[in-house]
A and B are shown apart, each in its own frame.
Chain A
Amino acid sequence: MIGTIIRKEIAANLLSYKFFIVILLASVLIFTSLFVMVKDFKGRQADYQLNKPKSGEPIAIIPPNPLSIFAKGLDDAMTRSFGVGSTGIDVQAGQQSGNIVFSFFPAPDFLYVVKVVLSLVALLFGFDQISREKEAGTLKLMFANSLSRASVLAGKWLGNFLSLAVPFLLVTMLGIVLMNLDSAVHLSASGLGRLAFLLATSLIYIGLFLSLGVFISTVTRRSASSLVVLLFIWSLLVFVLPNLGTLLARQFVDVPSVRSLSEKRQQIWTREVLLAYPNWDSWDERIKTMNAEFDQMEEDYRNKFDRLVQASKTICRLSPAASFVYASTEIAGTGIGEEGLFKREVIRYKNRTLEDVRSGIKAHPAFAYRYRSIGRVLAEGGLFDMAWLLVFNIVFFAASYVAVVRYDVR
């Protein structure tokens, strides 16, 4: 019986004008986003080619990540060049890729399109599932047959999910194929694997909003009011909660400002250099202690900052949209976790280079960074976020089941 309902839902969608407009909209957006982001990626790649260190130069810089086309995340922060100097790491910001004019509106990556627009589209598919049939009077007829309410709900969900997911996947894959025709963008096999995970996460996310739509449609009487309520919830989940998290976290965790850091730095410098001025013989030793203390300070700051980030992540996860952003940026290798590891690697590189300088080696090895494997990404939080999205999905679906069972079809 479920098969019949699924078929009916798909046919109803295919025949409605809403379906075509919505799919057209989503396709235009996805293609636009891929196009813009490929252009941005190429600009950053050209910058990398110019900024690339000559062999032997102690500069840590990595090429832009091709998956940043889909989820830009922190890729801009990671592809800066970190030069190693005698007193620490010198962050070069000269890598002003392309145009800051375009930073006026948020980066339109695939992630943003799914997060904002496709969630809205999923709501549009879900908002009138029950209330419309009730308004049209067909719900009565359906329930008059020997048909369990659960299978009606499941059939409706699956039918709508398929009519949403299939065009979405087709359009995205077409976009990826077209993108691969461009020789500048090269996705490796593992990159494609990550992309598959990214798409899977997007599907879970879209399904979640579909469930939410179905749920609200079972608790409201009219489809127009269900849509309005849904839009309010949508704006809360997508825009408001993710930003609230950072604010709240700031209240709980205190991070030192530039001022206190620079004061401490100065104190150390005064103690080690100014006060010890005539004492030349222990010079090497002193520079070493100074560097070690600076590192300690950086480490402290980094730890505090990590705590702030963790707190804000925990709070933000109240919203599935935030969870989705965390999961997909980590999968793409542009997330917060990846950035932390990268920074640590840069610090390690700096220490190694300074050791080399002290022991008189002139040519420094080139910096290399290996992204975490997808297995590690999933183990270190990616899977949790995906599961968290699934939990939201199940909760909304269960809630709509309860509501449908009690639904008054008259």
Chain B
Amino acid sequence: MLKTIIKKELLENIFSYRFPLFALISILLIPLGMYVNQIDHNKRVRDYNEQQRLANEAVTAISMQDLMAGTVAVKGFRPPALLSVFAQGFESALPRYYEFSQDGFKPGESSSGDESILSVQGKVDFVFLVQMVISLIGLLFAADTISGEKESGTLRAMLSNRLPRDTILVGKLFGGTLALWIPLILAFLLGTVMLLLGSFPFFSGDTPVRLLIIFLSTSFFVLIYYTIGMMISTSSSKTRTSVVAILLIWAFFQLIIPKLSDMLGALVYPVRTETEVSLEKSLLAKSIDNETAKELGRQFDLIFSRAREGAADDLASPERKKWDAVKGDIEQRARERKSQQISAIDETYRQQKRRQQNLAVNLSLVSPSAAFARFIADVCGTGEIERTKYIDAVKAHQKALENELFSKVKRTVMISPRGGTSLGFSVQPVDFQKLPKFSVAPSSLAETFKENWRSLISLAFWLIAPFAVAYVRFLRYDVR
């Protein structure tokens, strides 16, 4: 019996006037979105390769003098994520590169910088289309499943047969979702074929698995929205009422909750901007450097004031030996203090931000659509995980460069109590060819699932709860 209902529901949907509209929209839109993003992606890859080459050339051109002057800045680029073709996520908001210097790292331009003119109209990717358009269509298809049959009087006829209500509900759910699913899979396949024609490296690494996950979760998402639509349909006796209710719920899930959660996050845990923090850090570094220079000057005077002429340059003199020890000690302490205080600032800032983000992310998961978007972005390597990994890689690279490059030149600034500043250098050789290379480790699928368990739970909740409500409401439904 279930089969008959599924079949009936499927055919009814396919022959309805809205089906061709939906099919047209999805088959037109989804491959188009992928195509646009692929062109964009290819351009970014070309730019990345070129800039990488330029940056490498710049590294080989560094001289010891530059290093001594403290003007060396090395750039580390982040390769564009391959699957950003499906979900842009943070892709265009993340800095394209970070610049490393002895004072620390700072973010470069984001890729939305120059070409932002073209994105005034907003970007459309696969996830956005599913989130905004397909979800609305799913809800609309479901809007009249129960109330429509009631209005036309067929529900009564159906229920007067020996047919349990749950069978009708389940049959309608699967039949309707299937009708939505057919154009979706066509569109997805078409889009993938277009990507393949545009030399998309389909079989590299775990890309096929990721694509499969994207497709499965999209199907799941459609099922969720169809169930929500059915819940509304069983809760109202007129189709028009349910359509209005559906629009409100849609606007609430897609537009209000994601933004409201950001707002609440910012309201409950306000944080300073990145610029303010980096300014505070550089002020701190400067003041410590200044203190150290003064202290060195004082010690220098103390040690060498009663020494013979030229003792400072004589490596064997007792004063010089004492001075070397004192200097090493002061510099060591200053370094430790600096790194301790700066990492304390970093750590507090990171924690504050983390708290704010966690709140915003968790609140946004109330909406299945936000949960879906976040999950898919992580699968595509453009989500929260990638952002965290990127910044971790940047920190690690800064440390590595500090060891291999910046610490090879030690500058000693002294401010003598009698006034006057002196500058000394100690230099170790650097092999510029063998500097560490910047790279961001790609996230594994296991990590993606581990980090996204809340999104997945939210999605599961939005499948089960509306179905349960729809079931209860339908059991009590007055078919007259």
Contact = CB atoms under 8 A, between A and B. Distances in A.
A and B together in one complex: yes
A247 B32 contact: yes
A239 B133 contact: yes
A47 B244 contact: no
B326 interface: no
Interface in A64-78: 73-74, 76-77
Contacts of B54: 262
B151 to A, nearest CB: 9
Interface string A109-120: 000000011001
Contacts of B258: 104-105
Contact of B136 (A98, A235, A339): A235
23 contacts: A18-B244, A29-B251, A35-B263, A39-B266, A46-B273, A46-B275, A91-B109, A101-B356, A101-B387, A103-B93, A105-B258, A105-B370, A124-B247, A224-B143, A232-B21, A242-B121, A244-B32, A246-B36, A246-B121, A257-B46, A257-B50, A308-B118, A336-B120
B325 interface: no
Dominant secondary structure at the B interface: helix
Interface in B358-377: 360-361, 370, 373-374, 377
B47 interface: yes
Contact of B377 (A104, A236, A258, A308): A104
B416 interface: no
A43 to B, nearest CB: 5
Given A239-B124, A246-B118, A339-B117, A46 B276 contact: yes
B393 interface: no
Interface string B73-117: 000000000000000011001110000000000111110011011
Nearest to B116: A77
Contacts, number: 197
Contact of A100 (B90, B255, B275): B90
Among B107, B133, B148, B258, chain A packs the most CB atoms within 10 A around the CB of B133
Contacts of B25: 232, 235-236, 240
Dominant secondary structure at the A interface: helix
B76 to A, nearest CB: 15
Interface string B28-44: 11001101100100010
Contact of B116 (A76, A231, A232, A244): A76
A95 to B, nearest CB: 6
Interface of A: 18, 21-22, 25, 28-29, 32-33, 35-36, 39, 43, 46-47, 50-51, 73-74, 76-77, 80, 91, 93-106, 108, 116-117, 120, 124, 128, 223-225, 227-229, 231-232, 235-236, 239-240, 242-247, 250, 257-259, 262, 305, 308-309, 312, 316, 322, 325-326, 329, 335-336, 339
A229 B413 CA distance: 74
A120 B247 contact: yes
Given A18-B244, A100-B90, A240-B25, 4 more contacts: A47-B276, A104-B373, A224-B144, A312-B118
A240 B262 contact: no
B459 interface: no
B32 A96 contact: no
B445 interface: no
Nearest to B148: A224
Contacts of A106: 122
